[in-house]
Amino acid sequence: MQNRTTIRVNGRDINVDAVPDTPLLWVLREQLALTGTKFGCGASQCGACTVLVNGEPVRSCVTPLAAVAAQSVQTIEGVQTGADARIARALHAAWVAHGVPQCGYCQSGMLMSAVALLTGNSNPTDAEIDAAFTGHICRCGSYQRLRAAVHTAARELR
C-alpha cells in the first residue's frame, strides 16, 4: 500500500512515499538526498537534525512525516536561496570570519536555529542567543565563537 504525503521542501512541493510516522530526517536524507541535515542522537537531545518548519526550528529526528504534511520545510541546502537568504548569507559570512565550525557536524542545525533567531530578533542579547541554542550540542565547543558570529551577522543586517 502506498502512503503519499506532500511536503514543501526548500520551495518545491514534493510527493513522498513513506509511512506517516517516518521521521522527517530520514525522508530528507534517504529519499530526497538532502544530507546536510545530520543525524546525531535520534532523540531530540543534540540539535544536529534541526530544520525549519514554517520558519520555526524543529528536530527532524522526532518529527513524523505526517506532522509536516502541506507544511513548508527548509533545510540547510535551501536556506541561502529561500525567504531568509539575506540572513543566511550574513550568518555564513560571519561563521567564516569567526571560524565557528570545527568538525562541522553540528553546524547545519546551529545555522538553522540562527536563521530563525535573526528572523525574529535583529539585535539579540547574549542570553537570547544562548536560549536559541539551548539543546544544540557541539562537541568541539564552538559556543563562544558562535555567539560572536551571531552578533556580527546581526550587526551587518541592521
User: Residue 106 interacts with ligand FES (CB under 6 A)?
Assistant: yes
User: Count residues contacting ligand FES (CB under 6 A)?
Assistant: 23
CA distance 123 to 69: 33
Q: Which of residues 48-77 bind ligand FES (CB under 6 A)?
A: 48-49, 59, 61
Q: Per CB under 6 A, which region of 8-16, 27-35, 45-53, 148-156 contacts ligand FES?
A: 45-53
CB of 27 to ligand FES, least distance (A): 14
User: Residue 124 interacts with ligand FES (CB under 6 A)?
Assistant: no
User: Residue 104 interacts with ligand FES (CB under 6 A)?
Assistant: yes
Q: Per CB under 6 A, which region of 1-9, 33-41, 79-87, 121-129 contacts ligand FES?
A: 33-41
CB of 117 to ligand FES, least distance (A): 17
User: Residue 148 interacts with ligand FES (CB under 6 A)?
Assistant: no
